[in-house]
Amino acid sequence: MIAAGSFAACLLASTGGNSSAVAFPNQFNYASLVAPYNLNLLTTPAAIVFPQNATQVAAAVKCAVDAGIKVQAKSGGHNYGNYGSSTGELSVNLENLQHFSMDDTTWTANFGPGNHLGQVTELMYNNGKRQAPHGETFDVGLGGHATVGGAGAASRQLGLLVDYIEEVEVVLANSSIVKASRSENQDLFFAVRGAGSSFGIVTDFTIRTVPAPSSTIRYTYVWKKPSVSSQVHIFTTWQQLLADGLIPRQMSYALVVTASSMVMSGVYFGSETEFASLNLTSYFVTPPQVVQTNAYTSFLEVSKSLDAAVTSAGIATPSHFYAKSLVFTEETLISEKTAYRFFNYLSNTNNGTDLYAITLNGLGGAVSDISSTDSAYPHRDTLFFMFSFARTSGISTSTSVDFLNGLSKVAKSGNPGAYYGQYAGNVDTRESTMEALSAYYGQNLGRLKLIKKAVDPTDIFHNQQSIPVS
């Protein structure tokens, strides 16, 4: 029985009395509704609400404010710290906000934050053969992805998803529903494009789209069990090709290192003839044992193949894991000497995992055409990201955590004192709040704090690493 006048009663009323749209910790199925992504970090939100629209989101936020409870939104639920379901806070699950429309005059699309990237891809393609740059994992939610950065296969050619957001509708801490764009509520528009979870809940995105390519080539090169010296050569060649500008913008470019292989892969947005003319394998003294290319005439089909590759790698499903990220620029390239230390470390250090993957994602290109102060996302000079992932069969041990922390230290050892950013879409839950925020937002952190004080002065939208009021 829900007591009249209580937080629970208010939350129930916010949904129009729909008891199936609210959940509380005393329910038998509560843990399954929380659905943590990182199984190391089990959380118990004060309640979960499943609103149908922005008005219900605003009403739920007001209930939380009146009860003195913090708030976080959840769309796809892939946050590495489970921040969308933080203990003691109201979790606003946006899965029902899946509206979509496409204006075939302006070719802007409107999406609800509950759409997942697979739906976003299909809806854009099936309504005019359009696209916008975003990540490759189909079950990632748009709400989080679009408010943290949004890099993907087309980013070197087109930019980040935050660069394509024209307008947002946002529920603020005072439960008002406002629009933000370059001409209205500009500070809020700046903040939600990179640090959205600290400022409100986006209930609608207006996204600019561009024509989807009609010809794409997906390529994969595999080196099986390479020696340390071969690993160093493969990596330094990969890095140098990127740094020298020999990788065209219309190509994504990644290198994945595991215990048994190195895999270079990506997508070329163009013809088979154009891709073949790059002759990428000729740069590598150690030739890959596997060379595979697949041509696609449907952007939707190549997108599905990229999602399938991520899924099969086993690094995009709920599990016990620890992860880290690092941003590398032209000023912090990894020297050959440091590369030897890096791969010797991988070869000789007890990793304590049942799977690890070090993913180097090339960036630059169109991402770097945008000013670092255009949005809250600051890392416009990125040459490549390093994402480190360590999965264990149970709670991550100190061995697996130390393994990744040590690897990051080795990677940075050639440039002592240099600034290394991190991607806020891959949070490091073991870093202090200020260390993490400095790495996520760099020079934009000061402005973000001022905006936070203006739009959320009592820190309603809060998580372990959210922007502080002061």
| pLDDT reported for residue 60 | 99
Is residue 311 very low, low, confident or very high in pLDDT (cuts 50, 70, 90)?
confident
Is residue 3 very low, low, confident or very high in pLDDT (cuts 50, 70, 90)?
low
Which are the contacts of 412, defined by CB distance < 8 A and separation ≥ 6? 326, 332, 418, 420
For residue 161, what are its two tokens?
Answer: 């998803």
Residue with tokens 């009323």: 13
pTM: 0.96
Q: For residue 91, what are the β-bridge partners?
A: 48, 72
For residue 15, what are its two tokens?
Answer: 């949904």
By the 8 A CB rule, do 323 and 404 touch? yes
Q: Please check the confidence at residue 45 and state whether its pLDDT lies above 60.
A: yes
Query: In order of start, what are the domains of the chain with their CATH numbers?
Result: 7-93 (3.30.43.10), 100-212 (3.30.465.10), 216-436 (3.40.462.20)
Q: Please check the confidence at residue 1 and state whether its pLDDT lies above 60.
A: no
In what side-by-side order are the strands of the sheet with 384-392? 290-296, 216-224, 261-268, 254-257, 355-362, 384-392, 320-328
| pLDDT reported for residue 315 | 75
By the 8 A CB rule, do 154 and 270 touch? no
d(CA 354, CA 344) in angstroms, rounded, equals 19
Mean pLDDT value across residues 265-272? 97
